Structure 1
Amino acid sequence: MTDGGADYCFECIGLASLMKDAFSSSREGWGKTVILGVDMHGSSLNLNCPELLRGKTVVGSLFGGIKAKSDIPLMVKRYLDKELRLEEFISHELGFQDINKAFDLLLEGKSTRCIIWMDK
């Protein structure tokens, strides 16, 4: 289907077995596997060393790769200075009693981000 493997593979579940599968599915020579899921069982990740030597890579990304100590205060400042307009990403605001409607909007592809208000 990919004629040799995918250029980029993403693992988002947090299972070492799927991390290995994602790595095995990447293209030899330049395939990149990005690990996003967190393995809660503390399992080891066993990879085929010759595949690494032939150019496949594995990287991890916790919280999108930000450096929390320096990046979060910077993002907060940009938000407060109106440089970062997060409100534009909110498509709906609903009360908790309408939480099922929020899921329906998501499944219908009509919601980008929905805020659920607990006190509405």
Structure 2
Amino acid sequence: MLRTSAANSAAVDRPSHRAVPMGHPTGPTKTYDFTPTGTADVPVWILRVGNGVFVGVAPELSTDTALAIKKHSPFPHTAVMSMLEGGSKDMAEAQSYARITYEAMDSQYARGSAETVAAKIGDMLHSLRP
């Protein structure tokens, strides 16, 4: 679900899970229970300046997610920034959940959130193109 709050910002509603549930390991492990427990808003800001855009999100994105946003942007100049407006926990890409990485275990967002948010940002960027 995408809720637009202004012409240049929006929030994407994504499933979430508790970052480190009670009794779960905080170090390297071979198993981990990523059970969604609710939803969380993902604030997104976009500022267009001529042929370029600045895309900002509250969660800390992985480099792969930021590069995917940049690659699919219709603008020749795209900068992706994370941890805006106070920031929030990691938003790991789906492969991090499969690999049980620190980023996935530390994230408050469910598997697939990074890909969904990147796709919504792509839609927003394409809607700004003249």
Q: TM-score, normalised by structure 2?
A: 0.22
Structure with the higher fraction of residues in helix conformation:
1
Q: Which has the higher contact order (CA 8 A, sep 6+)?
A: 2
Q: TM-score, normalised by structure 1?
A: 0.23
Structure with the higher fraction of residues in strand conformation:
2
Q: Which has the larger radius of gyration?
A: 1
